[in-house]
Amino acid sequence: MALRLLLIAYEFPPSPSPQSLRWAFLVRELLAMGVEVHVLTAEPWWPAGNAQPPAGAVVHRAWPGGVAGIVALARRWRRLRGRPGLDAGKTTPEAEAGEAEGPKAGGPPAPKPPETLNWKGRALKGMNAFISRVTFPDERGRWEPYARRRLVKLLDTLQPDVVVSSHEPATTLRLGRIAKQRGFPWVADLGDPVLSFYTPARWRKASERLERWTCRNADAVTVTTEAARRMLAERHGVPLSRLSVLTQGFDPPAAPVPDPGIELDPARLELLYTGSFYQFREPRALVDAVLATPGARLNIATSRAPEWLVPLLDEHPGQLRLLGFVPHAQAVTLQRSADVLVNIANEDPVHVPGKVYEYLGAGRPILHVGDHDDDVAAQLMRTHRRGMVCGNGADAIASALASLVTIKQGGAWEHNFQLDPAGVEEYQWRSIARRLHAILTGLLKTPAAS
């Protein structure tokens, strides 16, 4: 009889967040292994065109609440008028009929909706900021009451073998606690700690309490780094055996590599950075180094460019190029076409950007910029000879770029780096899903933790 899994994940396609992509891939692989997967998630309010839920997953949607609910209501109205819908895969009749009652971010919060300049956009932005200040852990917490009611019904009707919570937001952990208290085996996929350096001061105590309860009571806890595993075990006095590492991952490259849709100059050293920038992942030194390196161009695929970068784009079009938001599938193709992929380390080595693992699978050299010797990404670069590691200073980065320009001019990528798939297969989503499957089935053979 197939394992029946109920996944609680606010961030799930069409959300573009890293947590959403993580579970889209894991669900796809679990389905291929014969697992029956149900997903409790939010009614979609994200822009159309993002990745869709894996075919075969049964998606149960609850109203997101707050500003996201206003956007979701508008999208639902457009669908009723005959516009294309956002849902994909099999969706329960209750969601199609609009059963939700009332109106509707293992790392940093998920990207916010695109900003607009009209009065409606400014009003919604201000409302969302207020909701974030008064709702734990942020505006996504408005989903909790609607999701709680839906969860209770699903637990009664589905009787899942295992329940999994996907964090962030921490709301999913509070919902998972309900399943645990009702006797269902519960796995908490923390990814990153709940209490982190970016947690607002007003929510630090609540985050610590929820993290402690989760680590002590979940039947299994998964995180993305060994550093996070050890830190949580020490912080909350739980055995290491309760926590497992399930990194982010990548899909094997398609052959041949599709056209990325963005022209790359074979005469330049084409650098590519994909993803968001934060105060703890600041690109100023990288940009200064690129501007000091003739023959190098930095391509930036992000929806959030720092304000100071905008005038530099106009001043140096031959060395800096902003691609804007690039859908995930196209970003992966672009990664496999660029000369060098750039990663900027987080300040806290407990956190590793998910794109590091995508970079590993791209088969291109990686320039990892960071100042921590114990950084997981730096260790991966050195262990697998996948790229260069340098400090996060303009001079150090410029020196590395000069070496990379020379290597490209000599056509010596393979001589200097190990770029074939050998040695990194363990980071493929298929391999990670197998380890997850072993955790899930293991819970069925042992009594649930009390």
Q: Are residues 274 and 244 in the same domain?
A: no
pLDDT at 47: 65
pLDDT at 68: 83
Structure-token pair, residue 272:
């590519």
pLDDT at 247: 96
C-alpha to C-alpha distances, 43 to 31, 79, 85, 281, nearest whole angstrom: 22, 13, 11, 31
pLDDT in tens, 321-339: 999 988 888 899 999 999 9
Does pLDDT of 306 surpass 80?
Answer: yes
Domain that holds residue 371: 269-426
Compute the mean pLDDT over every residue in the chain, rounded to the nearest whole number. 87
Q: Are residues 190 and 330 in the same domain?
A: no
Nearest to 420 by CA among 448, 388, 385, 449: 385
Distance CA 192, CA 232 (A): 10
Q: Are residues 440 and 388 in the same domain?
A: no
Q: Give the CA radius of gyration of the chain.
A: 22
Q: Are residues 194 and 288 in the same domain?
A: no
- CATH number of the domain bearing residue 26: 3.40.50.2000
Nearest to 375 by CA among 235, 225, 197, 222: 225
Q: Are residues 308 and 175 in the same domain?
A: no
**Could you give phi then psi for residue 365, rounded to 5 degrees?**
-60, 150
Indicate whether 137 belongs to any domain.
Answer: yes
Q: Are residues 237 and 305 in the same domain?
A: no
Q: Are residues 79 and 134 in the same domain?
A: yes
Q: What total number of domains does the chain contain?
A: 2
DSSP string, 226-290: HHHHHHHHHHHT--GGGEEE----BPPPPSSPPP-SS---TTSEEEEEES--BTTB--HHHHHHH
Distance CA 41, CA 240 (A): 30
Q: Are residues 347 and 399 in the same domain?
A: yes
Confidence (pTM): 0.85
Does pLDDT of 109 surpass 50?
Answer: no
Determine the average pLDDT of the residues in 67-81: 77
pLDDT at 144: 96
Provide CB contacts within 8 A for 147, sequence distance 6+.
8, 10, 40, 42, 62, 171, 175
DSSP string, 161-215: SEEEEEPSSTHHHHHHHHHHHTT--EEEEEES-SS-TTS-GGGHHHHHHHHHHHH
Indicate whether 262 belongs to any domain.
Answer: no
Q: Are residues 216 and 294 in the same domain?
A: no
Amino acid at 125: K
Note the Cα 176 to chain centre separation in Å.
20
Indicate whether 202 belongs to any domain.
Answer: yes
Strand order in the sheet with 387-390: 320-322, 296-301, 269-274, 340-344, 366-369, 387-390
**Could you give phi then psi for residue 93, rounded to 5 degrees?**
-60, -35
Indicate whether 258 belongs to any domain.
Answer: no
pLDDT at 403: 98
pLDDT in tens, 25-46: 999 999 999 999 999 999 987 6
Indicate whether 163 belongs to any domain.
Answer: yes
pLDDT band at 125; cut points 50, 70, 90: confident
Angle at 89 between CA 83 and CA 93, to 5 degrees: 75
pLDDT at 113: 37
Determine the average pLDDT of the residues in 244-266: 84
Does pLDDT of 282 surpass 70?
Answer: yes
Determine the average pLDDT of the residues in 206-232: 96
Does pLDDT of 147 surpass 50?
Answer: yes
Nearest to 373 by CA among 387, 356, 391, 388: 391
Does pLDDT of 14 surpass 60?
Answer: yes
Determine the average pLDDT of the residues in 145-165: 98
Q: Among 175-184, 292-301, 346-355, where is mean pLDDT lowest? A: 346-355
Compare 423 and 105 and report the one with higher pLDDT. Answer: 423
Indicate whether 135 belongs to any domain.
Answer: yes
* High-pLDDT (> 90) share of the chain, %: 64
Residue 5, Ramachandran bin (φ over 0: left; ψ between -120 and 50: alpha; else beta): beta
Compare 434 and 112 and report the one with higher pLDDT. Answer: 434
Indicate whether 256 belongs to any domain.
Answer: no
Q: Are residues 438 and 418 in the same domain?
A: no
